Amino acid sequence: MFTFRCILGTSTKYLTSLSARKYNIKLQIRMSSLPHYPLAAVCQVTATPDKEANFSACKELVEKAKQRGASMVFLPEGFDYIGSSREETLSLSESLTGDTMSRYTQLARKLEVWLSLGGFHERGHDWESDQRIYNSHVIINNKGDIVSVYRKSHLFDVELPEKGVSLKESAFTIPGPSLVSPVQTPIGKVGLGICYDLRFPELSMALQRHEAEILTYPSAFTVATGTAHWEVLLRARAIETQSFVLAAAQVGRHHEKRSSYGHALAVDPWGEVLGDCGGENPGMVLVEINLEKVSSTRRNMPVQQHRRDSSFYHSLEKT
């Protein structure tokens, strides 16, 4: 059983109790009298240490998104798996030439759809000697080619005892060496981040300066940090860069030690939330990407033209 949430502009109709699988799918319906813009599917999953089950669930979401007309599908951080220990996380990791990535390149080619794979456990270049990995955001085009790889640059080393949060990503993950240029896709120019990168506006502004029209932050936010900060951070990044922000998410209980907040989100350049997958079940939201919204928002409120040169913002450091 699932609910279709059909969004017509700003109004929402609910078609409940429709017999289907286990997913909550929210569709932005296009009226035939209006221009048709490319569709993006922003997905929400519950990954576990079972890689085969995870691939099956993600494959089904990608297929459903393609059936509904999506040009590009966004999967969250940890789409391949979420391990229950450091040892398990490392043992399940692969290279970009391994079986998992091969299956996704084949899927993209078969369905002729672009994929954003938002946090792949990639074995590091010195894997044999140091047994450490990258958290890698991989973009695959509709021909099955890997066209960009961004390795997460800000690692989640956070202790919040009062919130029950204790994670040290750097214990097994190598920080990425650099940002990567926005990628030209069928929905627009996409700038790549991953999860904790969301908290660093310098990253989003750098991508915007390199002509990103869409920012994406595939994530596995904890329940505590997601409840407090997830939506407000995503909307802030959209508002300050005047870009679409698409954030696929993990949701629910992955194993006995970890749960995620969910609420995969799509936000427009004005900061309006276009779709929210909720905090309970796997699913997706389909949104139209009208790049004229980016152009008109930046034209009508030319924030970037009003920005002073970088030395101005460092002037306090000289006093």
Residue that has been written with the tokens 């779709």 in this structure: 275
Q: Answer yes or no: are the C-beta atoms of 39 and 74 closer than 8 Å.
A: no
Please name the amino acid found at residue 45.
V
Q: Answer yes or no: are the C-beta atoms of 193 and 107 closer than 8 Å.
A: no
Give the angle subtended at the CA of 249 by the CAs of 111 and 218, to the nearest 5°.
Answer: 75
Q: Which of 26, 58, 66, 195 is catalytic?
A: 195
Q: Is 77 a catalytic residue?
A: yes
Identify the burial level of 58 via C-beta atoms within 10 angstroms of its C-beta, where 0-12 means exposed, 13-18 middle and 19 or more buried. buried
Q: Is 293 a catalytic residue?
A: no
Q: Tokens standing for 186?
A: 């069928």
Q: Which of 152, 277, 288, 293 is catalytic?
A: 152
Closest CA to 182 of 155, 218, 150, 151: 150
Instruction: Cite the DSSP H helix spans in the chain.
Output: 51-67, 86-91, 99-111, 127-130, 201-209, 223-241, 292-300, 303-306, 310-313
Q: Tokens standing for 33?
A: 């009298």
Q: Which of 77, 122, 213, 288 is catalytic?
A: 77
Q: Is 52 a catalytic residue?
A: no
Sign of CA dihedral 98, 125, 195, 279: positive
List the catalytic residues.
77, 152, 195
